[in-house]
A and B are shown apart, each in its own frame.
Chain A
Amino acid sequence: MTWVIGGPQGSGVESAANIFARACAMTGLQIFGKREFYSNIKGEHSYFAVRVSDKNIRSNVKGITVLVAFDAETLFRHVDDVYDDGAIICDSDLAQIKVDEVPTLDTLFKSRLIEHLSSKNKELSVRGLLEICKERDITIHLVSFKNILAALAEDLQNPSVKNMFRMLNVLAVSISLGFLGLSSRPLLESVEAIFHTKPKIAELNKQAANYGYNFATAKFPKFKYSISDIQKKSKTFIVQGYQAAGLGKMACGCRFQSYYPITPASDESVFLESNEVFDVKNNRPGSTLVVQTEDEISAIGMVIGSALTGTRSATSTSGPGFSLMAEALGWAGINEVPIVVTLYQRSGPSTGLPTRHGQDDLMFAIHAGHGDFPKIVYASGDVEETFYDTAKCFNFAEYFQIPVIHMLDKFLASTITTCKRFDPNLIIIDRGKLFEKIEKDGYKRFSLTEDGISPRSKLGLENGIFWNTGDESDEFGHISEDPINRVQMMNKRASKLDLALKTITKEDQAISFGTAEFCVLSWGSTKGPILDAIDMLKKEGLNVGFIQLKLLHPFPTDRIKSLLKETRIIIDVEANQTAQLGSLLNEHLDKKVDYYILKYTGRPMTSTEIYESLKKILQTKAEKIQVLTYGA
């Protein structure tokens, strides 16, 4: 069941979706939600799609079961996606709104909409559109929110309620849940939880929720896709991607984060600052210092400075900010400074689609910075993994004394999902060769060692004085242009990539979800949609393997080759135009990619789309490259 709520940015779409998701999760149902919005503060169209199931779900699907619209634009943009046996709930006042009266409809979309309505001989208005819906047998519930507020005001003997349009979101959710048949308790508890800091507002919203819920159960006939509470045994954990990364950083001891505001990365830094003070077991309280800098160059400079003091340090950014960090990344590389850059990809190039999804920066991350220097590029596939991987990235950074780029993306950042509660006890902290004490003088920061890793001192450590420079340097860290030293130092640094391939476990390099004659290879947030798509195929007796690459640089050639032994057809799935992983596969493997499933609309893949594309491939009816386009 997919419930979509849409309205102008700032109208409460997000809080409505949060209440809805929480209420469903509270009953033990699984949820998976994603938010879509324009680069805008107020007024442009935004929507939240929440998928609900009594089974494990990891993706969104094509189609909408219930569409709730705060405005005409939501109807214009989404009714086509509503299933024929689905439902629409919207304000009755919207019916008369004409296409031309909605200024936020861009001309490209508007011309497609007018063509659609005209081809069916319908009025160019919501009314015309709803007529098409009726012909498709979609259930339509027109509700006068104005009248409901007036009735509620009378009920509560509080005339000011009449104009409390801010409560429309709570009304919309409660009407939806009443309509869907969920019990009212979780609804009221989630309203309470969302507004818990403001008791008066919470009380009023609870009254509104109760009213809306009863209104729907009394007025609307039972809906085909009703959802019901599950007998749950324990609590349900519900979390967003950026929180997973933030919590991972806290748990693994990252104590310094600098950032410059950028979508979709800043949420994580704000989360860290909101939780800057915390308890530490058997110790005094700890804290994370979060510094908002003047730009991303400063953000990475500060991270390096902080890391030199022995502090686990990170920055979070997106493509444009990461572009600015490239020079300093090389400095961290040549000076063997352990830093973590959490890279929340969005659609580029340049500003691109700043609030939309994309996996466009894989090649850029691998090649970022001039000159030859080692780095690790590591990608997480879902929210739960993000928590544990974040901690692993810091281990990689410190163990190999190397910059690590942790690849996430907009889809992961803004996904809200139920999953297993994170377990900090599963996190291992390995700081590598970091000195806590140095007995005698003569320390060499870049001493040539067997494994290429030099014991690391930190600013403030007695007898541990060292020098760093962006120039090539000798073992002490002083500038050296000596040709023999140059080769030794270049080789020492480069050898860490081989060491990484030997040291990082196979499971941490790539995860196999079963291999087969047809096998999907992918990376990052496509994981959930791919797994759900494969399950759909399995129900039809069709078997497709899936290998999720996590370590993308250095490339885990041996691991992937060993997994591909039974595979005849390789299918590359990723959210970019040029099949960036595909080109790595073609470079490193003996077999070439046979099929590509790509999406670069700025919208994440749905499992339905991948299912359809894979099915075509299995039936050998597919083009070599399939480009997905679903989603408003």
Chain B
Amino acid sequence: MEPKLADYKTDVHNDWCPGCGDFGIVNAIQMALTEMKIPRHMSAIFSGIGCSGKTSHFVNVFGVHTLHGRVLTFAQGAKLANPDMTVIAAGGDGDGLGIGAGHFVAAGRRNVDMAYIIFNNAVYGLTKGQASPTLRLGEKTKSLPNPNVNEAVNPIGLAIASGFTFVGRGYAYDVRQLKDLIIAAIKHKGLAFLDVLQPCPTYNDINTRDWFAGLDNVDEITQKPKPRIYKLEETGYDPIVHYDSESEVNEKLTQALIKSSEWDTKIPTGIFYQNELVAPYEERIADRVPNYLENPPAIQPISSDGKSITDISKILDSLEV
């Protein structure tokens, strides 16, 4: 039977604020899973803590709502124990780039074959709007007593520097593009990162839907707003590392980094960087443990009639004198 979009939705009441960008992201995830026809039981969504953390309850696949900042650790453990699963990690910008920043960098180095989506709205919504690691220096969103005193982290740049082999950005109100990006991220062999710009209608009164649409920035001649969001693929940008040479890799990394620093008037979306020539962690393990992918931890038999079937006799022999 063809899977339907409805199959991937739960009937859990969604308590996000009206107009929240999160709705677009969860829709795009459900659409991507439907389009890819991934069996529900072969997919798991891990989420962090915060508004975005509730995502896993709204999708009708295995859903693991973890701890603040730790989503990548749970997700990697599951994926490595059962590499047949399609694993998506989802979390907020504070979750992944504040409290979880160490795991973000370490995950990049591992390059486990899964997708990580950050719902980036520059505020800690569920605790009433404090500044998150992606809020710009000097900006004062609604509930801040003073302008933000920290510089913002560059999520795309950090992902690139950490070794993520797929780095992209979506916009929560462009669900069609976002769905395509999520599909590309899942299909990517290795760790894919998607930075999704997600306006928080309640606490972020600066980076609003209107601001992204450029309503504050009208063209003097046409009198039309100049949208900040644009798509990299429409500019002839090629994010893919085609062959394994230092100069090719450096060129693609550099252009991605340059693009990642655009913000005030032009904000690129799409795939910034993709390199499938780097072996995913699972392949690195398979180089050591030849049958790892066919016989991963989750499917290995360990007992027969309640008795151990692991043969440790050789090691025990070596301990005898």
Footprint of B on A, CB under 8 Å? Answer: 22, 25-26, 186, 189-190, 193, 235-239, 243, 247, 250-253, 255-256, 258, 275-289, 291, 293-295, 297-313, 327-328, 331, 391, 421-422, 424-425, 427-431, 458-471, 477-479
Contacts and interface: CB of A to CB of B under 8 A. Distances in A.
Contact of A250 (B73, B290, B301, B312): B312
A73 B205 CA distance: 69
Contacts of A471: 65
Contacts of A253: 300, 302-303, 308, 310
B49 interface: yes
Interface stretch (B55-63, B193-201, B208-216): B55-63
A464 B40 CA distance: 10
Given A258-B77, A305-B74, A468 B312 contact: no
Contacts of B62: 308, 459, 465-467
Contacts of B81: 255-256, 289, 305-306, 309, 311, 313
Contacts of B319: 237-239, 243, 421
B297 A256 contact: yes
A252 B297 contact: no
B316 A302 contact: no
A276 B289 contact: yes
B31 interface: no
A258 B110 CA distance: 14
Contacts of A287: 289, 291-292, 295, 297, 300
B78 A306 contact: yes
Given A294-B102, A470-B67, A478-B57, 5 more contacts: A255-B298, A258-B77, A289-B289, A298-B102, A311-B81
25 contacts: A238-B319, A247-B315, A251-B310, A253-B302, A256-B77, A278-B314, A280-B300, A281-B304, A283-B309, A289-B81, A293-B106, A294-B103, A295-B102, A302-B74, A304-B77, A305-B77, A309-B82, A312-B302, A327-B67, A425-B308, A460-B41, A464-B41, A467-B63, A470-B49, A477-B63
Nearest to A294: B106
Nearest to B42: A460
A255 B297 contact: yes
Given A251-B312, A256-B77, A280-B310, A459 B82 contact: yes
B316 A465 contact: no
Which one of B65, B289, B313 has the highest number of Cβ atoms from chain A below 10 Å of its Cβ?
Answer: B65
Interface string B92-103: 000000000011
B66 A470 contact: yes
Contact of B64 (A424, A464, A468): A468
Given A243-B319, A304-B77, A479-B54, A463 B307 contact: no
Contact of B80 (A283, A291, A391): A291
> Which 9 pairs between the two chains have the least Cβ-Cβ distance?
A301-B73, A253-B302, A305-B77, A302-B77, A294-B106, A255-B297, A305-B78, A469-B65, A429-B303
Interface of B: 10, 12, 39-42, 44, 46, 49, 54, 56-57, 60-67, 70, 72-82, 84-85, 102-103, 105-106, 285, 288-292, 295-298, 300-304, 306-316, 319-321
Contacts of B42: 460
A464 B304 CA distance: 23
Contacts of B307: 425, 427-429
Given A247-B316, A253-B302, A461-B41, A311 B103 contact: no
A280 B78 contact: no
Contacts of A26: 321
Contacts, number: 246
B70 A297 contact: yes
Nearest to B281: A291
A435 to B, nearest CB: 12
Contacts of A25: 321
Contacts of B76: 291, 301-302, 305
Which one of A25, A294, A310, A431 has the highest number of Cβ atoms from chain B below 10 Å of its Cβ?
Answer: A294
Contact of B316 (A252, A422, A464): A422
A325 to B, nearest CB: 11
A255 B321 CA distance: 29
Contacts of A306: 77-78, 80-81, 297-298
Nearest to A462: B41
A477 B63 CA distance: 9
Contact of B311 (A22, A256, A280, A391): A280
Which one of B73, B102, B285 has the highest number of Cβ atoms from chain A below 10 Å of its Cβ?
Answer: B73
B65 A286 contact: no
Nearest to A327: B67
Contacts of A295: 102
Contacts of A238: 319-321
Contacts of B39: 462
Contacts of B10: 478
A271 B285 CA distance: 17
Contact of A236 (B289, B300, B302, B320): B320
A303 B79 CA distance: 11
Which one of A22, A190, A430, A478 has the highest number of Cβ atoms from chain B below 10 Å of its Cβ?
Answer: A478
A238 B316 CA distance: 9
Contact of A301 (B77, B288, B295, B303): B77
Contacts of A429: 302-303, 306-308
A40 B302 CA distance: 40
B57 A465 contact: no
Which one of A22, A283, A302, A463 has the highest number of Cβ atoms from chain B below 10 Å of its Cβ?
Answer: A302
B30 to A, nearest CB: 14
A469 B65 CA distance: 4
A284 B84 CA distance: 19
A145 B180 CA distance: 74
A407 to B, nearest CB: 23
A575 B295 CA distance: 44
Given A428-B307, A470-B66, A479-B57, A284 B291 contact: yes
